[in-house]
Amino acid sequence: MTGLQNKVAIVTGAGRGGRGIGQACSEMLSSAGCRVVVASRTLANAEAVVAVITANGAEAMACSVDVSNAESVESMVSATLDRFGSVDILVNNAGITRDNLLMRMSESQWDEVLDTNLKGAWLCMKAVTRPMMKQRSGCIINISSVMGIIGNAGQSNYASAKAGLFGLTKSVARELASRGVRVNAVAPGWIDTAMTTDFSDEMRSRILERIPLGRVGSPEEIGAAVVFLCSDHAAYITGQTLVVDGGLTM
């Protein structure tokens, strides 16, 4: 993919146990020519993804990070700059769920999800802004969700955080456009990851009935959208949300 050779990409939430969107983004950006920082709360999970990437002859670094903690995020970016000398791409993929109905949801369940899924993205964007502005180039991708568009019972915290990413994306895109930094979001629909494997057959059947294409998506299909938005093919795209959902929100 044009324009990605030797670019440095940070992908958060990239070491989740089981194949997920972060791992797919990391591997596909690597295949496109990027040097990738695989960031995860659990270092061992990040190292496992790095092992896959380096086995294919590419360069990658594992990093432990708590995206809800400013000091941890700043340490991740500093380590990236020390190792590679620049930060060209940030993929904010780290996210958690703490599902519950509104009347039963605890304050801690609300705070945990907003701190990781929304504040975490804000902290990571803030940390890479200075080096990107200095080099007058960069690309930030926020992984949101169609739940931020349509909502979902039992996920008021998750849907609120993902909807917040749309506004965050547009606001920061306006701030950074004059410095050559593009900011976009990707909103996945139902994707076949570790987060969805526990669904019952009945639930999966109900989900498929709502998707015009009649199937769930793959992590690689989200990775492909991310690679496109980071490439020169998307050089005139900023402040946008690319929905990848099989037609669910159509």
CA 26 to CA 66: how far, in whole Å?
18
Under DSSP, the state recorded for 191 is B
Q: What is the CA radius of gyration of the chain?
A: 17
E strand or H helix at 242: strand 241-244
| CB environment 184-219: b (16+ within 10 A), e (fewer) | bbbbbbbbbbeeeeeeeeeeeeeeeeebeeeebbeb
- The active-site residue, picked from 84, 110, 158, 166, is 158
Residues forming beta bridges with residue 183, ordered by sequence position: 140
Residue 232 vs residues 158, 189, 228: alpha-carbon distances, Å: 32, 25, 8
Active site residue 236: no
Catalytic residues, which ones? Answer: 158
